[in-house]
Amino acid sequence: MPAQKSAASPWPTDLSAYCFEVPHSADSRLFTSAKGVRLTDADGRGYLDALSGVFVTCFGYDCEPIARAVQEQLHTLPFSPPLHGANRAALGLAQALVDLAPEGITAAKLVNGGSESIEAAIRLARLYHRSHGRPDKVKVLSHYHGYHGATFGSLSLTGRPDVSRFGPGLPGVVHVWPPDCLEEFWGVEPERSAALAAEMIERTIEAEGPDSVAALVIEPVIHLRGMAIPSADYFTRLREICDRHDILLAFDEIVTGFGRTGNPFAAQTFGVTPDLMCVGKGISGGYAPLAAVLMSERIAAVLGDEGGPRSFAPSHTYAANPMASAAGLAAVTLFNDGDYLTRIRELAGFIEPRLRKLVEGRGTLRSIGLLYGAKLTGPDGGQGPVGERVARACLERGLILRGQDDWLVLAPAFVTTEAEADETLRILGEALDEVCGAGR
């Protein structure tokens, strides 16, 4: 039945043609417009967005340079035949990404979304080993409780119990425990957790057989654990372990990329260069579906000679799409030319101490750049887990953030003003008072 609109409600009366991301409930909104960091719904209600959509709209919802670049591209070359060549925007974006990445990263494969970039990373890792005469190196290790996407390979790497409802995943995926799980589930002291988690990964590799393992794919900051942030030492150890066993190290920087952690990528924040980097979300500022997998020269070399064109197939019809690439190139150019790293560090310096004070006595705050996670300690009871309840109380007051289990996460846009940050903290404070009781 075609969707109809009633005079009384802005919603079509028959919603059955559309699949929502969340169950259609009080938490679903019909968003109709946005400006800066504020959205409006069909009932005229306003929302302050402290999550950048979902780690995406770093430059706000009305970023003129990106919107203009997309519009110009639409009027010059809306699509380019992918089997017969490339387009200027895509070439420019690939170079801009390589320039922004840590030294040693030399090529980029553009795709349409984060999950596709994870799929590409898995395929690249297997291809790399096969082309070096090691076709049996196919297994992929990833963290329990990490999130890597919704396609079959990326879902298989996602080590969360809720993915089991889709049946068996990709063969050859092995999950390993990240440091913060060791701390929470087994009471390992924070000073020891990085070394122990790394040692357990090496033991897992030995038990699986190093000759069968292609790659270790991890989020540097695990956002579905309430922004679990390992020490830099953890990444140094993982780099050493991967090198020792000829295993590729891949960072899923889909959340942490493009300035979120205070540097262009978490790889630079933690001082470790992976072989593969999956990037997405903030890459286009939300102006087009776009992601990429960035790779070191030893992997790019499998796809073509240095200095010459590289090729990696099969690909996707809309990969390196001119419109999406134009959005990405404009966003990365703005990120560089607008000195957003300085802005991110200033805004983080403003928010962090205030947020820490707010959370004190009701949980612990994890923060890195403009990424925040609060692990709340209570109270038990009420409808649903505490993180979810606080997020709902925020939404009722017109503030968007994310809450699940016992955690909340915030990722304000880089263009958030101090007044908007204060408003965010005020509303969050009210929601915390309501759900958790007074703080300190």
Tokens of 146: 């990490």
Stretch that binds ligand PLP, among 41-49, 110-118, 209-217, 372-380 (CB under 6 A): 110-118
Looking at the Cβ atoms of 202 and 318, the one nearer to ligand PLP is 318
Q: How far apart are CA 292 and CA 98, in angstroms?
A: 11
Binders in 285-344 for ligand PLP, by CB under 6 A: 291
Residues 6+ apart with CB under 8 A from 352: 365, 367, 372
Residue 249 CB, nearest distance to ligand PLP (Å)? 16
Closest by Cα among 340, 328, 338, 334 to 284: 328
Interface with ligand PLP (CB under 6 A), residue total 15
The strand pair at 213-218 and 248-252 is best described as parallel
Stretch that binds ligand PLP, among 40-48, 83-91, 250-258, 316-324 (CB under 6 A): 250-258
Structure tokens at 439: 């703080």
Query: Which residues ranging from 401 to 440 are in contact with ligand PLP (CB under 6 A)?
Result: none
Quick one: which segment of 95-103, 112-120, 367-375, 398-406 binds ligand PLP (CB under 6 A)? 112-120
Out of 173, 255, 266, 413, which residue is the one contacting ligand PLP (CB under 6 A)? 255
Q: What region, left, alpha or beta, does residue 66 occupy, with left being phi > 0 and alpha being psi -120 to 50 degrees? A: alpha
Q: Does 273 bind ligand PLP (CB under 6 A)?
A: no
The 8-class DSSP code of residue 164 comes to G
Per CB under 6 A, the list member of 59, 61, 147, 235 interacting with ligand PLP is: 147
The span of 20-28, 248-256, 322-330, 410-418 binding ligand PLP (CB under 6 A) equals 248-256
Burial of 49 (0-12, 13-18, 19+ CB in 10 A): buried
Closest by CA to 68, choosing from 326, 413, 340, is: 326
Find the binder of ligand PLP among 36, 53, 60, 114 (CB under 6 A): 114
Q: Are 235 and 163 in contact (CB under 8 A)?
A: no
CB of 180 to ligand PLP, least distance (A): 15
Residues whose CB falls within 8 Å of the CB of residue 387, separated by 6 or more in sequence, listed in order: 226, 376, 403, 404, 405, 406, 407, 408
Task: Say which amino acid occupies 269.
Answer: T
Nearer to ligand PLP, 291 or 391 (CB): 291
Can you tell me which of 36, 53, 149, 387 binds ligand PLP, judged by CB under 6 A? Answer: 149
Min. distance of Cβ 56 from ligand PLP in angstroms?
A: 9
Query: Is residue 254 part of the contact set for ligand PLP (CB under 6 A)?
Result: yes
Neighbours of 78 (CB within 10 A): 11
Least distance to ligand PLP from the beta carbon of 374, Å?
A: 18
Residues 208-227 that bind ligand PLP (CB under 6 A): 219, 223
Q: Which stretch binds ligand PLP (CB under 6 A): 108-116, 257-265, 340-348, 377-385?
A: 108-116
Please return the burial class of 377, using the count of CB atoms within 10 Å of its CB with bins 0-12, 13-18 and 19+: middle
Interaction between residue 180 and ligand PLP (CB under 6 A): no
Which CB atom, from 183 or from 253, has the smaller least distance to ligand PLP? Answer: 253
Using CB under 6 A, list all residues that contact ligand PLP: 113-115, 118, 147-150, 219, 223, 252, 254-255, 280, 291
